[in-house]
Amino acid sequence: MKSNYNIAVCLSGEPRTWKHTAAAIRHFFSSDVHNYKFFGHTWNNSYYNKEHRFASNALSKSLKLVSATQDHLVNRNRLIDEFENSSWNDNYDNKTLADNLTDTFGMTDILVEDKKVVSAVCNSLDLIYPEFVAKFDKEYGANQRKPVVLSHISYSKMRANSLKTQYELENEMQFDVVVSARFDVCYPPTEKFDHWLQFHGTILPTAIYGESHYFPNEYFLPHFNDVIYFGNSRIMNVVDDFYRYLVSGKFWEMLDENYTDCALKSCGYNVNLYKWLTIKNILIKNINIPHTVFRKTEKNLTWPQDWDEIVNANRILFQ
C-alpha cells in the first residue's frame, strides 16, 4: 500500500437528506495521511419513495383500527390529513443547491441538473434513428420495470465520475482510488475510509471493492450494492460508464440470449450493475463497509449522537 493516496469521492444520486449526513460523510472521508477531493452530481428534486410507501401502509393499518362511527371520524380525518400534508418531494434551485453542497463538502466540482435530461432512450436518437427507438421499446425495453429510474441512477454516477476524469485531464494526474457514494448515507462515528485501504493494502488493478450478495426480493440473483464502492480510476471509468450501454440497449445485447429475460428486466439497479461488472470481467472483491441511509422520517435525529436510532429507522422501512 502506498503511504499517501490521492482519493476522489464521487457523490451522486438525489440530494435527499444531505444536510443530516454531511457531517458523517466529511468525517468518514477525512485523513491525516491521504488526500481527498469531492466531486458530485445530483438532481434538483428528491422523492422519498420508501418513506412514502411505509407511511401509506401505516395509514392503512391505522384506518382499519378506527371504527367508522361518528365519534371516531375526527380521528380518522386527522390521520388522513397528516398523511396528505406530508411532503414526499423536495424541490431545489440548481445554483443554490450547488453552492450549498460546494460550501459544505468543499467540492472540487459539482453539477446539479433536472431529471428531464434523462430518458429511457437517448434523446439524440429520437429523430435520427426512429427505427432504433422502436426496436428498443419492443425488444430491449420490453417488460423493464421503471427503466427511467435505472437511467437516473446510472446517469448520475456517470456524470459525477466524468467530473473526476475532467479534473485528471486538466491537471495531468490520475487518482489512486475513486469512491462512488451517495448523498443520503452516513457512517458509524468510529469508522473512517482509511481503515478499508489499510485492510486491503494495494488496490488491485482489475478489481472493484464493495458489497455483493444474493437478493431474495429479486429472484435471488447476485446483487452489487451501489451505495458505496471503490476501485482505481480506470476501473471506475468502466463501472460508471454503465449508463451509455443501458440506455442504448447495448447492455441487453451483451447479455446474448438473456436480453429478453423478463425476470432480469424487472429487477433493480444493483442486480443489473452486477451483470455489468461480470460482462466487463471486473473482479468483485466483496466487502461490507458499515453504513446506513438517513431517512427523512427521522429528521429530528442527529449524527453522531443518534447513530443507533438512525440505523434502526432505516431497518424498520425494510421489515
Is 165's pLDDT higher than 60?
Answer: yes
Rounded to whole angstroms, the Cα distance separating 222 from 207 reads: 17
What is the mean predicted confidence (pLDDT) over 1-5? 76
Q: What grid cell was written down for 234?
A: 480506470
What residue has cell string 471493492?
Answer: 209
- Split at pLDDT 50, 70, 90, the class of 78 is low
Considering only 44-58, 109-123, 180-194, 267-281, which range has the smallest mean pLDDT?
44-58
| Structural contact between residues 111 and 10, judged by C-beta atoms closer than 8 angstroms | no
Chain segment 39-52, per-residue pLDDT in tens? 999 999 887 765 55
Three-state secondary-structure class, residue 215: strand
Q: Report the percentage of the chain scoring pLDDT > 70.
A: 72
Rounded to whole angstroms, the Cα distance separating 252 from 61 reads 41
Could you identify the residue written with the cell 463538502? 105
Query: If we measure between CA atoms, which residue out of 301, 171, 157 comes closest to residue 238?
Result: 157
> Which of 12-16, 23-27, 313-317 shows the lowest mean pLDDT across its residues?
313-317
Band the pLDDT of 142: cuts 50, 70, 90.
very low
Give yes or no for a contact between 46 and 89, defined as CB atoms under 8 angstroms apart.
Answer: yes
What is the Cα–Cα distance from 291 to 53, expressed in whole angstroms?
A: 22
Question: What secondary structure does DSSP assign to 145-197, as a single string?
Answer: SSHHHHHHHHHHHHHHHHHHHHHHHHHT---SEEEEEETTEE--TT--HHHHH
Average pLDDT of span 169-189 = 97
Instruction: Give the residue-averaged pLDDT of 18-38.
Output: 96
Q: Report the distance separating Cα 3 and Cα 194, nearest Å.
A: 11
Task: State residue 212's pLDDT score.
Answer: 93
What is the rounded CA–CA span in Å between residue 29 and residue 22?
A: 11
Judge whether residue 143 has pLDDT over 60. no
Higher pLDDT, 114 or 74: 114
Contact 256, 275 (CB under 8 A): no
- The 10s digit of each residue's pLDDT in 284-294 is 999 999 999 99
Q: Supply 172's cell numbers.
A: 495531468
174 within 8 A of 168, measured Cβ to Cβ:
yes
Confidence band for 129, pLDDT divided at 50, 70 and 90: very low
- At residue 128, the 3 state secondary structure works out as helix
**Between 1 and 214, whose confidence is greater?**
214
Burial class (CB in 10 A: 0-12, 13-18, 19+), 31: middle
Which of 47-51, 96-100, 115-119 has the largest mean confidence?
Answer: 96-100
126 pLDDT higher than 50: no
Q: For residue 168, what are the contacts with CB-CB under 8 A and spacing of at least 6?
A: 174, 175, 233
Please give the pLDDT value at position 60: 65
Q: Rounded distance, CA 267 to CA 150, Å?
A: 10
d(CA 262, CA 64): 36
**In this model, does residue 79 exceed pLDDT 60?**
no
Q: What is the pLDDT of residue 64?
A: 64
pLDDT tens track for 215-254: 787 888 899 999 999 999 999 999 999 998 887 778 877 8
Mean pLDDT (the chain, rounded): 82
Q: What pLDDT is attached to residue 122?
A: 41
Any bridge partners for residue 177, and if so which? 7
Gyration radius of the chain over CA positions: 21
More confident residue, 122 or 295: 295
